[in-house]
């Protein structure tokens, strides 16, 4: 069973049809929309500030979502894919974004819609990532623009696939309905 705990009397809330892997952890002030998935060993820790997650978001294996006490909440909008072992901390991620495997997004960064953060990239505090761009490196910098075809194939395609993958695990003890 997933570890789902209140913190200071605040319980996580889930929209319809969310898959939470049996060894995922979701605690505290977390509100998640519909059709989301939280994969194996992922941690969403709303203990020191709020975490707001939109619809059709997938938080892949061993990813960490956290925030900063009295300073930085985390907001993840709709159709966002957070790659394996990525860390998202006290930032804002708009709709239709891909955060690559092992990437780090720090406090007060703002990732605009239709952007990709490459695998292993480090988005420093207060960085603003342009819509329709790929950012890579440490620190992450814009490396190229992407068009709507690439956005649909890469970003929306991955989000759709993870929504499908989560249906493969439809067991009452694993899903929050």
Q: Does residue 70 form part of some domain? A: yes
**Is residue 78 over pLDDT 70?**
yes
Distance CA 149, CA 159 (A): 15
- Domain encompassing residue 155: 3-167
Over range 95-108, report the average pLDDT.
98
Q: Does residue 174 form part of some domain? A: no
Q: Does residue 97 form part of some domain? A: yes
Task: Compute, in degrees rounded to 10, the torsion defined by CA atoms 15, 126, 155, 148.
Answer: 120
Q: Does residue 172 form part of some domain? A: no
Q: pLDDT digits over 18-54, tens only?
A: 999 999 999 999 999 999 999 999 999 999 999 999 9
Strands 141-145 and 133-136: antiparallel
Q: Does residue 173 form part of some domain? A: no
> Average pLDDT over the chain, rounded to whole?
94
pLDDT score recorded for residue 154: 87
Q: Does residue 120 form part of some domain? A: yes
Q: pLDDT digits over 103-138, tens only?
A: 999 999 999 999 999 999 999 999 999 999 999 999
Whether the model pTM is above 0.85: yes
Q: Are 24 and 39 in contact (CB under 8 A)?
A: yes
Smallest CA-to-CA distance from 19 within 35, 37, 6 is with: 37
Over range 143-158, report the average pLDDT.
89
Distance CA 5, CA 16 (A): 19
Q: Does residue 176 form part of some domain? A: no
DSSP 18: E
**The domain that contains 103 carries what CATH number?**
2.160.10.10
State the burial class of residue 170 (Cβ atoms within 10 Å of its Cβ: 0-12, 13-18, 19+): exposed
Residue 126: phi and psi, rounded to 5, are 70, 10
CB neighbourhood size of 153 (10 A): 11
Distance CA 49, CA 164 (A): 31
Q: Does residue 158 form part of some domain? A: yes
pLDDT score recorded for residue 172: 54
Over range 133-159, report the average pLDDT.
92
**Is residue 175 over pLDDT 80?**
no
The total domain count for the chain is: 1
């Amino acid at each position: 069973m997933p570890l789902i705990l209140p913190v200071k009397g605040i319980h996580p809330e889930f929209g319809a049809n969310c898959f939470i892997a049996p060894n995922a952890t979701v605690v505290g002030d977390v509100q998640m929309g519909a059709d989301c998935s939280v994969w194996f060993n992922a941690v969403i820790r709303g203990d020191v500030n709020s975490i707001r997650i939109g619809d059709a978001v997938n938080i892949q294996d061993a990813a960490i979502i956290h925030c900063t006490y009295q300073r930085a909440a985390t907001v993840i909008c709709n159709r966002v894919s957070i790659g394996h072992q990525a860390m998202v901390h006290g930032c804002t991620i708009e709709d239709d974004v891909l955060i690559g495997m092992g990437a780090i997004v720090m406090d007060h960064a703002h990732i605009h819609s239709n952007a990709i953060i490459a695998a292993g990239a480090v988005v420093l505090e207060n960085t603003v990532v342009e819509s329709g761009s790929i950012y890579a490196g440490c620190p992450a910098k814009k490396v190229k623009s992407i068009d709507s075809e690439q956005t649909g194939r890469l970003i929306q395609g991955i989000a759709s696939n993870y929504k499908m993958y989560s249906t493969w695990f439809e067991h009452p003890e694993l899903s929050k309905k």
